[in-house]
Amino acid sequence: MGNRKRIDDAKMSDEIVAENGLINRRTLLRNALFTAGIAAASGGVVRADDSAGANAPEWMKTPGRPFSGYGVPSKWQEKVQRIFTIAPGRAGTGVSRTPLHLLEGTITPAGLHFERHHNGVPDIDPAKHELFIHGMVKQPLAFSLEALMRYPMETHVYFVECAGNSGAFSSPQPPQVTSGELNGLLSCSEWTGVRLSVLLAEAGIAKDAKWIIAEGADAAAMSRSIPVEKCMDDAMIAMYQNGEAIRPEQGFPMRLLVPGFEGNMNVKWLRRLNVVDAPVDARDETSHYTELMPSGKARQFMFLQGAKSAIVKPSFGMTMKGPGLYEISGLAWSGAGRISKVEVSADGGKSWAVAALTEPVLPKALTRFRMPWQWDGRPSTLMSRATDEKGGTQPTRAAWIGEYAPGQGYHFNGVQSWSIEADGAVKNVYA
């Protein structure tokens, strides 16, 4: 891990707030204390004139390359890629995951937003695409992209998480893979578009309408039934993602967003909203995305993504470089609203300390948490536990597993654990 910081142990000792060296989160704010000695510890103390004149780095000696029409990441970042899992022989069906462990902050770059396609990414001509609203409405409406653009727009930061995210935690042995592979069916963007309630009001939605069937213009014509209350609340038709037209992988030219609900319901390439009085029992709400219970019965329409968190630094694939001060950092989110608290444990859940939340903390968006940690070099088990503003929190993995039939992997939000070995290796463990 590259973020080791060395500071005066004596000053730190009275800041310890939980076992195994967790330090008061407020230490992060007292920059002078936390940062004292970082430059020295990372070998960064030089005389300023050492890198001037003839000693200047190569890239200062010739003019840089010219402008580019659309920028791409630095070539030094070429390993930061989505992680693929594709069904053999079905190139357009499957998932690619966001490499959460290689990113910072909370916004996912559009090119790294996870992908879940049931039959590939359609190549839609935006000039020919239309969104239809029909069924239990006074006047059925068809919207071209151009027409939609004339409605009042809203901008919100929301996460999208596949119901199958972190499903690997239902396997009997903890998979030794990166945090991105475990939790990367999760991304967060700034979305801009039109509130669905505005369009439904214009169409004149019937009072006894109960559900809306959303259908995509992909080769799977993927469909889901959405409760009318959600459609009249914060659901939106997004046309922009992080300031630019929504990417083809995310639903260009428009997608449905049902903030906080399972990924599958956020129908991409949205072409049709059929207002009805009963759910349609679409393939994806019967064969998939249901929760199989120990009784053999399955729970259907479990829409909300529960309170959840994961430590991404340190995580599997990283190595701790000896005892010292580290920052534990991770992501927390909840479909129910804002994250109100994240607790971190360094002793496998025996003692907990409250982590710092990096502002802004937005509802139904990713929140970054940070926890300073004085690692003494002995084996430790790191955990995080999020609580949302509605009081929702994370069960232990064992408690979560106990609720369902064996192998049921949808909607996993149990507490996750990394063990730090004496040699600095990081392993996934079920603690």
Ligand X SMILES: Nc1nc2c(c(=O)[nH]1)N[C@H]1C(S)=C(S)[C@@H](COP(=O)(O)O)O[C@H]1N2
| Residues of this chain that bind Mo ion (CB under 5 A) | 116, 162, 263-264
Per-residue binding string, ligand X, 350-369, x by CB under 6 A, is: --------------------
CB of 169 to Mo ion, least distance (A): 16
> Interface with ligand X includes 115 (CB under 6 A)?
yes
Residue 178 identity: T
Q: Which is nearer to ligand X, 36 or 107 (CB)?
A: 107
Q: Which is nearer to ligand X, 113 or 385 (CB)?
A: 113
> Interface with ligand X includes 226 (CB under 6 A)?
no
* CA 369/CA 367 separation, integer angstroms: 6
Residue nearest to ligand X (CB): 216
- CB proximity list for 42: less than 8 A, separation 6 or greater: none
> Interface with ligand X includes 160 (CB under 6 A)?
yes
Q: Which is nearer to ligand X, 259 or 324 (CB)?
A: 259
Nearest to 249 by CA among 75, 68, 84, 78: 84
> Interface with ligand X includes 266 (CB under 6 A)?
yes
Contacting range for ligand X; rule: CB under 6 A; set: 116-124, 296-304, 315-323, 415-423: 116-124
Please spell the DSSP secondary structure of 15-34, one letter per residue: TEEEGGGEE-GGGGT-HHHH
Nearest to 410 by CA among 418, 401, 419: 401
Number of residues that bind ligand X (CB under 6 A): 21
Q: Which of 17, 124, 162, 237 binds ligand X (CB under 6 A)?
A: 162
CB of 284 to Mo ion, least distance (A): 8
> Interface with ligand X includes 267 (CB under 6 A)?
yes
Q: Which of 183, 242, 264, 387 binds ligand X (CB under 6 A)?
A: 264
> Interface with ligand X includes 290 (CB under 6 A)?
no
Contacting range for ligand X; rule: CB under 6 A; set: 16-24, 109-117, 149-157, 172-180: 109-117
CB of 362 to ligand X, least distance (A): 19
Q: Which two tokens stand for residue 220?
A: 């799977």
* CA atoms within 13 Å, Cβ hemisphere of 149: 8
**Residue 99, H or E segment:** none
Contact status, residue 249 vs residue 160, Cβ threshold 8 Å? no
Q: Could you identify the residue written with the tokens 């759910």?
A: 279
> Interface with ligand X includes 114 (CB under 6 A)?
yes
Nearest to 338 by CA among 307, 296, 369, 300: 307
Q: CA torsion angle for 112, 116, 119, 234 (degrees, to 10)?
A: -110
268 binds, among ligand X, Mo ion, none (CB under 5 to 8 A by kind): ligand X
Q: Which is nearer to Mo ion, 82 or 338 (CB)?
A: 82
Residue 426 identity: V
* CA 323/CA 202 separation, integer angstroms: 63
> Interface with ligand X includes 196 (CB under 6 A)?
no
Contact status, residue 190 vs residue 241, Cβ threshold 8 Å? yes
> Interface with ligand X includes 116 (CB under 6 A)?
yes
> Interface with ligand X includes 222 (CB under 6 A)?
yes
> Interface with ligand X includes 118 (CB under 6 A)?
yes
Q: Which is nearer to ligand X, 249 or 291 (CB)?
A: 249
Phi first, then psi: give them for residue 380, nearest 5 degrees: -140, 160
Please spell the DSSP secondary structure of 159-172, one letter per residue: EEE-TTTTGGGGSS
Residue nearest to Mo ion (CB): 162
CB of 210 to Mo ion, least distance (A): 24
* CA 8/CA 309 separation, integer angstroms: 31
Residues that bind ligand X (CB under 6 A): 113-118, 160, 162, 187, 216, 218, 220, 222, 249-250, 263-264, 266-269
